[in-house]
């Protein structure tokens, strides 16, 4: 795979990972909504990751890619500005959710309904953000950015390994990784049993 298409594939792959986590988070909010017991520690692990990988690497790397796209295609300004603003908002929003979940896990008194409202709003905003990127910006990036542009972005950004999905996963995400693997097996089993009918 060329450097160029691998950059786009990596980008899309990260969105798939984030979508997996948002679905897990949504399942937990559904449990809460049904007055069942959600796994607050898992929700915190998910949001901790969202504020320590997407906010720290994925979005800053996009900001650089968007800036280069804007240099090459001036008409992309409104969408690039919107997406950059959403990065700032998602980061703030994610921080608020982490603090609320930390309070719950630590046993402080925190209105739990607020976590559901915030969590659902975060999920909706993150999904719509990724949808806009996939529909409007990834095709432009694929068309406009050269291998040299991607190399320059790679140099400009401080690289960190993905602490959850990366090869050297961090210990703090061990149980979240197991949960993701369990979900993947369960959904594969559902697909297989669907085919058998
Ligand atoms: Fe983004
Ligand atoms: Fe993105």
Task: Write down the H helix ranges in 73-111.
Answer: 77-105
pLDDT of residue 92 exceeding 80, the answer is: yes
Q: Indicate which ligand has the atom closest to the C-alpha of 138.
A: 2
Ligand 2 center from residue 83 Cα (angstroms): 9
**How many angstroms does the Cα of residue 38 sit away from the middle of ligand 1?**
28
| Closest listed ligand to the CA of 134 | 2
Among 163, 180, 171, CA closest to 57 = 163
**pLDDT single digits (tens) 13-32:** 999 999 999 999 999 999 99
19, 47, 128, 135, 178 from 123: Cα distances, Å:
9, 11, 9, 18, 22
pTM for this structure? Answer: 0.93
Q: What is the DSSP letter of 164?
A: T
Going from the Cα of 3 to the center of ligand 1, the distance in angstroms, rounded, reads 21
Q: Is the pLDDT of residue 85 over 60?
A: yes
């Amino acid at each position: 795979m060329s450097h160029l298409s691998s950059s786009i594939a990596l980008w899309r792959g990260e969105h798939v990972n984030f979508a997996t986590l948002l679905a897990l988070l949504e399942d937990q909010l559904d449990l809460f909504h049904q007055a069942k017991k959600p796994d607050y520690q898992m929700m915190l692990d998910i949001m901790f990751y969202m504020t320590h990988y997407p906010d720290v690497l994925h979005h800053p790397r996009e900001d650089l890619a968007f800036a280069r796209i804007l240099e090459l295609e001036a008409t992309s300004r409104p969408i690039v500005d919107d997406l950059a603003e959403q990065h700032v908002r998602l980061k703030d929003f994610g921080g608020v959710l982490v603090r609320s979940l930390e309070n719950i896990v630590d046993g402080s008194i925190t209105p739990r309904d607020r976590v559901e409202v915030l969590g659902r709003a975060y999920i909706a905003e993150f999904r719509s953000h990724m949808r806009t990127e996939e529909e409007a910006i990834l095709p432009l990036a694929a068309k406009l950015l050269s291998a040299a542009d991607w190399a320059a972005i790679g140099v400009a950004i401080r690289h960190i390994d993905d602490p959850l999905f990366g090869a050297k996963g961090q210990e703090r995400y061990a149980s979240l990784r197991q949960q993701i693997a369990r979900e993947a097996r369960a959904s594969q089993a559902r697909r297989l049993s669907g085919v058998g009918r």
